[in-house]
Structure 1
Amino acid sequence: MKQKILISVIVLFGIIYIFFIPAEPVIVKLSFKVVPMLLIIWLASLQKAPPNTSFKNWLLLGLLFCMIGDATLQWFLIGLSSFLIGHICYIVAFIQLKEKAIIKPAASLLLLYGGFMIFWIAGTVFKSGDLILAIAVVAYITVILTMGWTAIQTNAKFAIIGALSFIFSDSILSINMFITDVPFSHALIMVSYYGAQLLFAISISYYSVIRKKVLE
């Protein structure tokens, strides 16, 4: 019951931030932006960890770095670096729960999508003359798709849906930032982003239950 209430509060604060908090003053906007992440980290800390793994600890570390990325994204390279570290933490976490090799259709789709986004997004940034940012974008796309790859290998539905939701969120963010304005971009980015992080937190205890049944 306590966790259901906490999830409801997370959803409530997410809605408040996305739809009701104005852009100015910035400090108020940032404060409300990180509140759902603080609550998600709290929720994740309450979950029962999968046996014989450090999955929960790495996931909590990933959530923490993503929250730092939230707060620093206005300084883009700093925020991007924090998210990059967060995704590396997720990769380490998901590798520990690998259940099977990724199926070829899913692997092919991720590789094709990654190649397309690198060509489109990083290529556009490179043409603008910002080589360092272009390299950072390539690195980020590579890491987040690797995160999605390892999430699929866990065969845990919440982790998989969360990873795909995160990829969607960052794709909209990249297109909106570097290519063209996307209608309702703020809502699309934040709903899918908060949703991804919430699903990651829930996946901790979900996988623990599934793993316990398998071991029994």
Structure 2
Amino acid sequence: MTGAAWGLLCLTLLIALADWVAVAADRRPAEYALKPATMVALGAVVLALDLPDGQLRWWYLAAIVASLAGDVFLMLPETAMDPEPAFVAGLGSFLVAHLLYVVGMIILGVSGGALAVGAAVALVVIATVGRRVVIGAKATDRRLFAPVMAYVAVIAVMIATSFGTGIVVGIVGALLFGLSDSVIGWTRFLRDFPHSRVLVMVTYHLGQVGLVLALATAG
């Protein structure tokens, strides 16, 4: 990583930490500024990386932009939009982000054996947490069944592909990103628990950072 990339990564983590504090204190105005600012800073990290393959930068940057859109949509229920359309829009944005990360990881390179291990892990995630979240979504609103089921499937593909790269920091990042999404689904469709929003943000940001650090190994 370049010196600029390291500096921007430190800035990203500082903004993320401030966001976690804002979420813990339920300071919504600060959260609305800090949450997207974290992703903007992380996007700057991607731009600052010295990469041998120009394609990689743009796939990962596109994933971050899609995630940023998802962040904004998921904040809208508290402000302007009806909750369900905003949730579905956020779901769609993050689904696209996961797919973009999958393409980026494939360009990084995947091995069949590691991919098979990742597929096994992903199937366990689907059979346990994913299945319950999908059932909960259907019970909440039948219209959410198909989009939530598709989203769970895409998360599984993203996790499996991360294993295929063999890059540990990327695998951890994908798992944390999946955990963040799982907590969102669990608390929305099954039951909430204390400090769930903080857990969502910590795992989300660290997951995204892990995926970007995996990209840095290509530099």
Q: Counterpart in 2 of 1:8?
A: 10
Q: Counterpart in 2 of 1:160?
A: 171
Q: Is the 8 A contact 1:44 1:202 kept in 2?
A: no
Q: Using structure 1 for the length normalisation, give the TM-score.
A: 0.86
1:82 lines up with 2:123 in the alignment: no
Q: Counterpart in 1 of 2:186?
A: 175
Give 1:35-114 correspondences, 5 Å limit: 35-51=37-53, 54-73=55-74, 74=77, 75-103=86-114, 104-114=116-126
Alignment coverage as a number of residue pairs:
205
What secondary structure sits across from 2:108 in the alignment?
coil
Q: Counterpart in 1 of 2:209?
A: 198
Gaps of 5+ in 2: 78-85
What secondary structure sits across from 2:192 in the alignment?
coil
Report the CA distance between 1:7 and its aligned residue.
2.0
Report the CA distance between 1:47 and its aligned residue.
0.7
Q: Deviations over 1:178-216 (max 9, x none)?
A: 1111221112111111111112222222123xxxxxxxx
Gaps of 5+ in 1: 209-216
Partners of 2:28 and 2:216 in 1: CA distance: 38
| Aligned alpha-carbon RMSD (Å) | 1.9
Q: Deviations over 1:124-177 (max 9, x none)?
A: 22123x222111110001001101111111112222111111011111111111
Report the CA distance between 1:107 and its aligned residue.
2.6
Q: Deviations over 1:53-112 (max 9, x none)?
A: 622211110011001100111310011111011111111111112231144554322112
Equivalent residue in structure 2 for 1:137, among 116, 132, 148:
148
Q: Is the 8 A contact 1:88 1:147 kept in 2?
A: yes
Instruction: Note closer, same or farther for the CA distance 1:5–1:115 as it changes in structure 2 (3 Å cut).
Output: same
Report the CA distance between 1:24 and its aligned residue.
5.8
Q: Using structure 2 for the length normalisation, give the TM-score.
A: 0.85
Q: Counterpart in 2 of 1:120?
A: 132
Residue 31 of structure 1 aligns to which amino acid in structure 2?
A
Residue 124 of structure 2 aligns to which amino acid in structure 1?
L
Partners of 1:31 and 1:159 in 2: CA distance: 27
What secondary structure sits across from 2:65 in the alignment?
helix
Partners of 1:45 and 1:207 in 2: CA distance: 14
Q: Is the 8 A contact 1:102 1:152 kept in 2?
A: no
Q: Is the 8 A contact 1:159 1:200 kept in 2?
A: yes
1:187 lines up with 2:189 in the alignment: no
Q: Deviations over 1:111-131 (max 9, x none)?
A: 122132342111122123x22
Q: Counterpart in 2 of 1:213?
A: none
Q: Is the 8 A contact 1:48 1:204 kept in 2?
A: no
What secondary structure sits across from 1:69 in the alignment?
helix
